[in-house]
Amino acid sequence: MEEYTEFYGSNGFFFVILVAVIYIAALWRIFEKAGKPGWAAIIPIYNVLILLEIIGKPWWWLLLIMFVPFVNIVFGIWAINLLSKSFGQGVGFTLGLIFLGFIFYPILGFGNIEYKGPAGS
């Protein structure tokens, strides 16, 4: 029984690492498309500040997103919607980013979608 758990447990770990690497690479490209440094995608907290610059929101949103329970869910979804709008996409793409992020973030980063400005302005 231990061999079974060890085998599938390690595969799950590698799958999580693979998804994380794909997500980081996609976020790196999203930042570069928006004219920000790509390396900022790998710095915790700083990457949220850069994302807030990309979507055109003030730095204090970071406090709401990180420290206020339940409000952070609303503001996080709002931020994802504004990211989608910043690249000229609609609500359907926002839902894709929320529920199928491992597919839609690489589409946003590596696809031919262009940055339109904060919240599509």
Q: How far apart are CA 73 and CA 67, in angstroms?
A: 11
Domain boundaries, the chain: 2-120
Q: How far apart are CA 87 and CA 28, in angstroms?
A: 15
Q: How far apart are CA 52 and CA 82, in angstroms?
A: 9
**Residue 15: pLDDT band by 50, 70, 90 thresholds?**
confident
List Cβ neighbours of 7 (8 Å cut-off, separation of 6 or more).
none
Q: How far apart are CA 86 and CA 36, in angstroms?
A: 14
Contact between 108 and 97 under an 8 Å Cβ cutoff? The reply is yes
- pLDDT tens, residue by residue, 80-112: 999 999 999 999 999 999 999 999 999 999 999
What pLDDT does residue 119 have? 80
What pLDDT does residue 12 have? 78
Write down the residue that tokens 């980013």 correspond to. 97
What pLDDT does residue 8 have? 57
- pLDDT tens, residue by residue, 20-47: 999 999 999 999 999 999 999 999 999 9
Contact between 105 and 27 under an 8 Å Cβ cutoff? The reply is yes
- pLDDT tens, residue by residue, 52-85: 999 999 999 999 888 999 999 999 999 999 999 9
- The whole-model pTM stands at 0.86
